[in-house]
Amino acid sequence: MVFCQAAVSGAPTPSLILAECSILHTIDLKPGGIVSPMVHSMAQFHIGQLVHNRNTKEDGFVSHVFADEGIITYEVWVPKDSNSWGAGHWISHWLESVVQPSSNRHLGSPLTN
């Protein structure tokens, strides 16, 4: 179990809400200071995973996870050279519906290359 911590905006006194979620990077604060962790706990992938886009036939590294009204979007680093991070990367946003685990064993993580 992982807990995320978020400050409540607009609260009369500074306060924090702890919410169970599986992604530490992004928490949505709704009006009235209500945290919405359910969307985040439903995300199939997390920061640091290598994923594949079925539509574009590209592999990439998840750098951020976003949720907007139940729609999960991943910010993905896409290598300029399909099998190496050496040439740098582009940044793309992929809907969860087109993402699957990557089987590209040659690419690895941009953080270790």
pLDDT digits (tens, 9 = 90+) for 88-113: 999 999 999 999 999 998 898 888 86
Number of structural domains in the chain? 2
Residue 90, beta-bridge partner list: 78
Domain identity same for 56 and 97: yes
Per the structure, the complete domain to which residue 21 belongs is given by 3-41
For residue 33, tell me if it sits in a domain: yes
Q: Which tens digits make up the pLDDT trace of 27-75? A: 443 444 433 445 445 789 999 999 999 999 999 999 999 988 888 999 9
pTM of the shown model = 0.64
Least Cα distance to 110 among 80, 65, 67, 68 occurs for 80
For residue 108, tell me if it sits in a domain: no
For residue 59, tell me if it sits in a domain: yes
Q: Which residues of 60-81 are buried (b: 16+ CB within 10 A; e: fewer)?
A: bbbeebbbeeeebbbbbbbbee
Domain identity same for 34 and 59: no
Domain identity same for 30 and 63: no
